[in-house]
Amino acid sequence: MLRVSSSPRSFSKSPANPQRPILNAFKQLTPHENIYTLPNILTFSRLIAAPVIGYLVLHDHHAWAVGLFAYAGITDLVDGWIARRWNLQTVVGTVIDPMADKTLMTILTVCLAVKGTLPVWLAGIILGRDVGLAISAIYYRYISLPPPKTFARYWDFSLPSAEVHPTTISKYNTALQLALIGATTAMPLVTVDVSSAMTAMQYLVATTTVWSGASYVYSKDAVKILNQDEIKKRKGSHNQKN
């Protein structure tokens, strides 16, 4: 008698590889970059120092506040020089460096306004601009993050997605703001009358703050969204030089 095989293999093709979707997902993952560099560590130390300086200002420990503020200013200069000198630039560094500056500025602006040594109207201008830039940063990070757009990946800054390039007026404004905040912090230690100079500087900072905020809106080069080819190219270039 003729027998017909009942094995499924004789009637259907072999099933597709079930691991293929997983392999494709791994291929699409965004490459990570090394964020544990000396410049980034110095920048993170400024982030930690910011609330400490604010605490010292509120409790009238002016000498300690000025000393720690000087440390923040020195590391702000040194970390960029080290990154350029030894090719340790990272995309996350372009984000957390201005973030550290703004965290320090925000905390000290609030603390000095509470103490009455910085005009409330000027504090409102400085903080209003920073809030607007923070909202913009959140938006650009979200739209530039490659899928899947999960909460964990959003806060994983080793996944580069966008670069922030400060405008020229923004750089001057940051320097002027830091100079004003530093001088205001040190005012209780100064014995001469410099109120007129401080008033003039306050109006100058107010002008540059508004100007720099507008420059991010009208400048086309302030924010650059990175595509996958650019990220891989930069990572390959960094690995070759190291």
Q: What is the per-residue pLDDT for 136?
A: 78
* Cβ–Cβ under 8 Å, residues 157 and 96: yes
As a whole number of angstroms, the distance between CA 7 and CA 221 comes to 65
User: What is the biggest distance separating any 2 CA atoms in the chain, rounded to whole angstroms?
Assistant: 117
Rounded CA separation 27/38 (Å) = 30
Which has more pLDDT, 188 or 39? 188
173: buried, middle or exposed (CB in 10 Å: 19+, 13-18, 0-12)?
buried
pLDDT at 162: 67
Can you give the pLDDT at residue 221?
A: 65
DSSP 145: S
- The pLDDT, as a whole number, for residue 5 is 47
Q: What rounded mean pLDDT belongs to the chain?
A: 79
Helices (H), 187-227: 195-218
224 backbone dihedrals φ, ψ, rounded to 5°: -125, 120
For 16-44, how does the pLDDT look when each residue is reduced to its tens digit (9 = 90+)? 555 555 545 444 555 566 677 888 888 88
pLDDT, residue 26, reads 42
Supply the pLDDT for residue 120: 96
Which pLDDT score is estimated for 12?
A: 45
pLDDT of residue 81: 86
Range of weakest confidence among 86-90, 124-128, 231-235: 231-235
pLDDT above 70 covers what percent of the chain? 73
pLDDT score, position 138: 77
Rounded CA gap, 97 and 100, in Å? 5
Mean pLDDT to the nearest integer, 47-73: 95
Which stretch of 19-33, 48-62, 185-199 has the lowest confidence by average pLDDT? 19-33
Task: Give the tokens for residue 40.
Answer: 């980034």
Are the beta carbons of 54 and 111 closer than 8 angstroms? yes
Name all domains of the chain by residue range, CATH numbers in brackets. 35-237 (1.20.120)
pLDDT of residue 58: 96
Distance CA 42, CA 150 (A): 29
Does position 148 have pLDDT exceeding 70, yes or no? yes
**Interatomic CA distance for residues 119 and 129, integer angstroms:** 16
Cβ–Cβ < 8 Å for 118, 112: yes
pLDDT given at position 116: 94
Confidence at residue 127, expressed as pLDDT on a 0 to 100 scale: 94
Mean pLDDT for 11-17 is: 48
Who's near 221: CB < 8 A, 6+ residues apart? 165
Report the SS3 class of residue 73. Answer: helix
Q: What pLDDT score was predicted for residue 48?
A: 93
pLDDT band of 99, cuts 50, 70, 90:
confident
pLDDT at 98 over 50: yes
Grade residue 164 by pLDDT with cuts at 50, 70 and 90.
low
pLDDT above 70 for 11:
no
CB 202 within 8 A of CB 122: yes
pLDDT digits 0-9 by tens, 211-234:
988 887 777 666 666 655 555 555
